[in-house]
Amino acid sequence: MDISGSMDNGYPKKRIDLAKEAAKQIIQRLTIGDFFTVITYSTGATNLVNSAFGNKSMIRATAENIATIVQEIDNIQHMGGTNTVAAFEEAYQALQTASTNEYTSNCNTAVLFLTDGEMDDCSAGSAPPGCTEDGLLEQLRSAVTDLTDQHASTIFTYSLGESADTR
């Protein structure tokens, strides 16, 4: 879930509020047979399950676990840049750890990507030396490929806001 500064834009609802509502609606429809996590990203990426439950990467969708993560989502504030690559790398790591530690039901794997589509470019203050737009896009392609190839993941992308960047 994108929590970058640009997510504060939008009318009549801010993009961050749309993302929070969408994430909560999805999580509240999971069943006890599901495992899940929520990863937020701005300048870096954070796994909310790790923050709330320690280093578990994913948790079973019990009513108590869902309620805890919904509260975590309610407390999210927008901030920082938009490091999309970090989000996909964190998702990959969460799936790797879940698989290794058997925090999985071995069913279909889905990644729901909530964003306004405004990705940092090389002019951002956090850009590494020698950064190019093509280089950033290649990093993103590589992170997405790792996720889809090694974990047979389906990625659903939700672009939030009427001025969302769709390139």
**Sign of torsion over alpha carbons 11, 84, 106, 103:** negative
Task: Name the one residue in this structure whose structure tokens are 């108590």.
Answer: 64
Fold of 5-158: Rossmann fold (3.40.50)
Domain positions in the chain: 5-158
CA atoms within 13 A on the CB side of 71: 9
Mean pLDDT for back-to-back runs of 10 residues, the chain (167 residues)? 90 90 96 94 92 87 96 95 86 85 77 82 60 73 75 81 64
